[in-house]
Chains A and B, each alone.
Chain A
Amino acid sequence: AQSVSQHNHHVILSEAASLELGCNYSYGGTVNLFWYVQYPGQHLQLLLKYFSGDPLVKGIKGFEAEFIKSKFSFNLRKPSVQWSDTAEYFCAVNAGDYKLSFGAGTTVTVRA
């Protein structure tokens, strides 16, 4: 079974700072990769996904992620965060059977 590791439990940064959240997975086969965001009091929303093709994926709200197959990584980035990016971020992986394995999540707090 695949597992997903998110390196940071809680990240605190100021507005306009750059954000990078690490995500590594353990699975040797073909995977689909996702980043979800959960704003306070809201449901999980899909930020971006990678199935195949260009390993640099652009998502909503200025987020992007890069799939590095050799490193089993799918790190999330945003060049300049806003206060409204305060949320919980989850990396998730599936191996084609539509079952998602989630990382533990990273709480991002952006200070105005």
Chain B
Amino acid sequence: GAVVSQHPSRVICKSGTSVKIECRSLDFQATTMFWYRQFPKQSLMLMATSNEGSKATYEQGVEKDKFLINHASLTLSTLTVTSAHPEDSSFYICSAEDSPLQHFGDGTRLSIL
């Protein structure tokens, strides 16, 4: 079946650091990828839709300058959390569209000290 690889699985870093998370579709091409954020005991909240070769579409309330998304190829999207602060600590999950389905990565646990 379709596999989505997300890396790293866990990152701990100091406040003010920028962190890059990669999302790769391993055996299929994905024009569209999605980035979600999940708080403890809560649902996945869509942050943005990543479109290959064009600008990402951000959901209301998500700071596009804070969460930079690049989708340079049909198999790779990256999310960069810039100048991360403790309130950015969360579980970030990507998915890749394999129409009409989405396939999810394992998620990245980001902890900002």
A49, B101: Cβ atoms closer than 8 Å: yes
User: Is B67 an interface residue, CB under 8 A from the partner?
Assistant: no
Q: Which residues of B contact A90 (CB under 8 A)?
A: 43-44
- Counting residue pairs across A and B whose Cβ atoms lie within 8 Å, the total is 45
Query: What's the minimum C-beta distance from B68 to chain A, rounded to whole angstroms?
Result: 20
B32, A98: Cβ atoms closer than 8 Å: yes
Interface string of A84-106 (1 = CB under 8 A from B): 00000010000000111111110
Cα(A93)–Cα(B102), bound, Å: 12
Q: Which of the four size classes fits the interface of chain A?
A: 20 to 34
Q: Which of the four size classes fits the interface of chain B?
A: 20 to 34
Task: Given A43-B107, A44-B93, answer yes or no on A100-B102 (Cβ-Cβ < 8 Å).
Answer: yes
Cα(A104)–Cα(B4), bound, Å: 23
A32, B100: Cβ atoms closer than 8 Å: yes
Q: Which residues of A contact B105 (CB under 8 A)?
A: 43
A43, B34: Cβ atoms closer than 8 Å: no
Interface string of B38-74 (1 = CB under 8 A from A): 0001111110010000000000000000000000000
B100, A98: Cβ atoms closer than 8 Å: yes
Q: Return the chain B residue nearest A100 by Cβ.
A: B102
User: Is B88 an interface residue, CB under 8 A from the partner?
Assistant: no
A99, B44: Cβ atoms closer than 8 Å: no
Of B43, B102, B107, the contact of A104 (CB 8 Å cutoff): B43
Q: Which residues of A contact B107 (CB under 8 A)?
A: 43
B101, A99: Cβ atoms closer than 8 Å: no
Cα(A51)–Cα(B101), bound, Å: 11
Q: Return the chain B residue nearest A44 by Cβ.
A: B104
**Between-chain CB contacts (< 8 Å), 12 pairs:** A43-B4, A43-B104, A43-B107, A44-B44, A44-B95, A90-B44, A98-B32, A98-B97, A99-B46, A100-B34, A100-B102, A104-B43
Interface residues of B (CB under 8 A from A): 4, 32, 34, 41-46, 49, 93, 95, 97, 99-102, 104-107
Interface residues of A (CB under 8 A from B): 4, 9, 32, 36, 42-46, 49, 51, 90, 98-105
